[in-house]
């Protein structure tokens, strides 16, 4: 076979067809079953890593060399698309950092599905439980309590409510932030029955600042369902399936957390932290959101829970689940501290990356779950990096509308729809605009307000553009183009919206973006007068000694052309070099006269 055909055949042989099903979207009600956080892989590429010990596959040269004669042609470094990265649900080369990579950097890691067995982890389960006993209270989480098998049904149901609130708050929010909010929430609504009596305005007010207000709404809806049904007797169900089915916003993860920790039920959990821990322990390098990946990890988690000792009456499943989460949150982080891990000896990722121990060859069929690793082998390549979608860019005009009378000032606020972004929160009149000039945006803002209030020409006092305010949501890069509209006279009645006093504005449930816009007009949230704040200009840093010296010795030529005695001369001003012991400030300018030829 000619060398070029041999090379092409070898390259084709490396391309393993994908057998993964398509990636599916996870519904809102089930989103907590497993949604890897967006920040999970941040900083992973900066971690030093050990190279894999496996050799790159041999590719015949396409330079025309003949191995039988020993003659060598020009040697060229070949690149090919990484194999097995183009099928549905399998991602592409960019998921690992490159779409076309050097073949030497592509690690196929051939292994059988038996490589992902949990036996080595089962052998160290008690070691992880002992580790968790030592760190259980380290982060001061008030909802984390030891399971009491002798507790009454009512006491366990109360624990279930406390855990439910904490788990919903912890979605996309750090523990340190949640602690204060959880304490305030439990002080206001200590039981699920108390919460069911609240309204959405009250719930949003306590939730203010946590973001993702849909979570607060789901807690209120869930409490209403539980207390309004005779089937549940004012208690969250102890059956994970019933909990997931009957309570709005509860998915498989939250149901597992509540039932294992509050009721002692043997049921697994897989959240973002547990996903990262299991993929590293079991050496799984697969598309994170692919259905077969999620299914495999849940099955592995269930096997580990079933393997725990029985008959101890200690709620061991809840302890095990919390131990896995704590390990992922504090040790097996995106950039891990493997030296502190109690499960390091059972970790395939550590063995491959740090100990240069490749997976054993498959005993039978090769694993179809895993993707090849592109780039240098490291613990941080597990789990497989997600393809990050770019945030969309949006622009909105925010018209902060004042209606001034002789003795009062009110501001116009509207309530957002009950579904969608910032559901149910208040905001000034806001409308989408194009990123054009300020005049067009002012016109769009005035049109929107006129549609709300009718003709305001007689009441018009002032309408000015304040400037842009940027606010970043998880999936939107928003630019608010803030405007101030001042009207005088009698306030019209509103079909939609409310005229709020300054005190009512301060107490209103608004998003952080609205507070930023308000502060751009009045200085800070809660103020209502323009011009009562100072714009603090950043102080200019004084020049360093090096910069001062450089400015003095910088050669500056000043061209001065004169005629002296019939000759044209050019004068060049240059600094004189200081002598030893002379300060820079004492340097004087000397004039060098250069005679130019006619």
Please list the active-site residues.
Answer: 167
Beta pairing partners, 589 = 575
- How many whole angstroms separate alpha carbon 558 and alpha carbon 571? 7
- How many whole angstroms separate alpha carbon 529 and alpha carbon 378? 57
Burial 219-253 (b: 16+ CB within 10 A, else e): bbbbbbebbeeeebebbbbbebeebbebbebbbbb
15 φ/ψ angles, rounded to the nearest 5 degrees: -85, 105
**How many secondary structure helices (H) and strands (E) does the chain include?**
18, 14
Helix axes 252-262, 316-330, angle to 10 degrees: 120
- How many whole angstroms separate alpha carbon 132 and alpha carbon 151? 22
Token representation of residue 328: 């992922």
Sequence-distant (≥ 6) Cβ neighbours of residue 209 within 8 angstroms: 181, 512
* 411: nearest Cα among 487, 463, 467: 487
- How many whole angstroms separate alpha carbon 356 and alpha carbon 350? 9
- How many whole angstroms separate alpha carbon 385 and alpha carbon 85? 13
- How many whole angstroms separate alpha carbon 558 and alpha carbon 553? 15
- How many whole angstroms separate alpha carbon 295 and alpha carbon 289? 10
Name the DSSP class of 584.
G
């Amino acid at each position: 076979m000619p060398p070029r055909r041999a090379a092409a055949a070898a390259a084709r042989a490396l391309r393993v067809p994908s057998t993964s099903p398509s990636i599916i979207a996870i519904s809102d009600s089930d989103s907590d079953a497993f949604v890897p956080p967006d920040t999970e892989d941040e900083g992973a590429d900066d971690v030093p890593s050990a190279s894999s010990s496996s050799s790159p596959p041999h590719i015949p040269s396409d330079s025309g060399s003949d191995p039988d004669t020993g003659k060598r042609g020009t040697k060229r470094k070949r690149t090919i698309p990484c194999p097995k990265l183009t099928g549905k649900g399998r991602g592409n080369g960019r998921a690992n950092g490159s779409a076309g990579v050097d073949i030497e950097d592509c690690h196929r890691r051939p292994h059988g599905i038996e490589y992902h067995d949990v036996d080595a982890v089962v052998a160290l389960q008690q070691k992880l439980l002992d580790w968790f006993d030592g760190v259980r209270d380290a982060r001061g989480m008030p909802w984390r309590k030891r399971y009491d098998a002798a507790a009454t049904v009512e006491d366990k149901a109360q624990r279930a409510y406390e855990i439910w609130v904490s788990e919903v708050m912890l979605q996309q929010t750090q523990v340190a932030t949640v602690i204060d909010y959880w304490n305030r929430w439990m002080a206001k609504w200590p039981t699920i029955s108390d919460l069911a009596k609240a309204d959405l305005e009250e719930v949003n007010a306590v939730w203010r600042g946590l973001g993702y207000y849909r979570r607060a709404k789901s807690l209120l809806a869930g409490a209403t369902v539980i207390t309004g049904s005779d089937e549940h007797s004012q208690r969250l169900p102890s059956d994970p399936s019933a909990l997931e089915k009957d309570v709005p916003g509860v998915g498989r993860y939250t149901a597992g957390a509540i039932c294992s920790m509050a009721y002692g039920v043997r049921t697994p959990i897989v959240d973002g932290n547990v996903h990262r821990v299991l993929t590293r322990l079991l050496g799984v390098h697969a598309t994170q959101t692919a259905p077969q990946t999620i299914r495999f990890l849940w099955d592995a988690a269930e096997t580990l829970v079933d393997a725990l000792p029985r008959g101890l009456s200690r709620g061991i499943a809840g302890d095990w689940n919390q131990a896995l989460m704590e390990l992922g949150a504090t040790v097996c982080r995106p950039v891990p501290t493997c030296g502190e891990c109690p499960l390091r000896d059972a970790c395939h990722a550590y063995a491959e990356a740090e100990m240069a121990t490749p997976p054993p060859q498959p005993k039978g069929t090769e694993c179809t779950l895993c993707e090849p690793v592109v780039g240098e082998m490291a613990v941080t390549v597990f789990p497989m990096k997600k393809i990050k979608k770019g945030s969309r860019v949006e622009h909105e005009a925010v018209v902060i509308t004042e209606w001034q009378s002789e003795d009062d000032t009110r501001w116009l606020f509207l309530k957002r729809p009950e579904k969608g972004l910032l559901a149910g929160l208040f905001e000034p009149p806001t409308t989408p605009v194009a990123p054009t000039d300020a005049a067009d945006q002012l016109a769009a803002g005035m049109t929107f307000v006129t549609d709300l209030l009718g003709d305001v020409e007689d009441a018009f006092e002032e309408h000015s553009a304040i400037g842009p305010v940027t606010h970043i949501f998880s999936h939107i890069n928003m630019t608010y183009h803030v405007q101030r509209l001042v009207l005088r006279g009698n306030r019209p009645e509103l079909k939609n919206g409310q005229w709020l006093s300054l005190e009512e504005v301060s107490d209103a449930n608004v998003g952080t973006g609205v507070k930023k816009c308000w502060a751009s007009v009045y200085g800070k949230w809660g103020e209502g007068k323009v011009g009562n704040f100072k714009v603090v200009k950043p102080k200019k840093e004084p020049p360093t000694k090096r910069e001062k010296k450089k400015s003095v010795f910088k050669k500056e030529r000043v061209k001065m052309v004169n005629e002296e005695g019939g000759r044209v001369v050019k004068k060049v001003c240059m600094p004189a070099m200081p002598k030893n012991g002379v300060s820079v400030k004492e340097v004087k300018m000397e004039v060098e006269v250069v005679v130019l030829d006619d």
